[in-house]
Structure 1
Amino acid sequence: ASNFKSLIHGFCKMGSFDKALELFNIMLQGGVLPNIVTCNSIVHVYCRDRRVEEALQLMDGMRDQGITPNTCTYNVVINSLCKEGKSERAWELIPLMLK
């Protein structure tokens, strides 16, 4: 499991997002749960690639799996939403972040 997580984090750092996402999906299909660091790596790359809606979907999936998004997760997504002119949506996340 930790090998998956290390590889995903490495692929994200190298900019090989397609490989990271493919490995992330293989990991999930194999029943291996990601940790917050792995999820944050994927969220960060989604946001960097202006795929913030997919980042939000991943955050929902994290919650469904019992993984609580942390301040880092929220900061990246809120920042991306604001950059895209979606400040109202960003404001909606603040109460969730403060829970």
Structure 2
Amino acid sequence: MYTLKEAANILGVSSSTLRRWEKEGKITSTRTSGGHRRYTTEDLSNVNKNKVKNPKMTIGYCRVSSSDQKDDLKRQVKMLVNIALLMVTLSKLLKI
């Protein structure tokens, strides 16, 4: 059994995200006599399966503070696109 913090670390999310997922019914936990959450390996595995089914997640974004920085924004977008293409190529090579 894993504590809230341990489970969050394993899943790569914050403790508050894990609490929210529980409220949304995306994960279940059992409670100790003191009311603390505990997660089983099966609980964590089920969440990972759902993450694979719905793999959309923000891994980066581009932002500038004014419209005068359009060139900076274009440069950021180009860099993120190149990184994404590199990640796709690497995942194909590694067959992930």
TM-score (structure 2 length as normaliser): 0.27
More helix by share: 1
**Structure 1 length as normaliser, TM-score?**
0.26
Larger-gyration structure (1/2): 2
Larger fraction in strand: 2
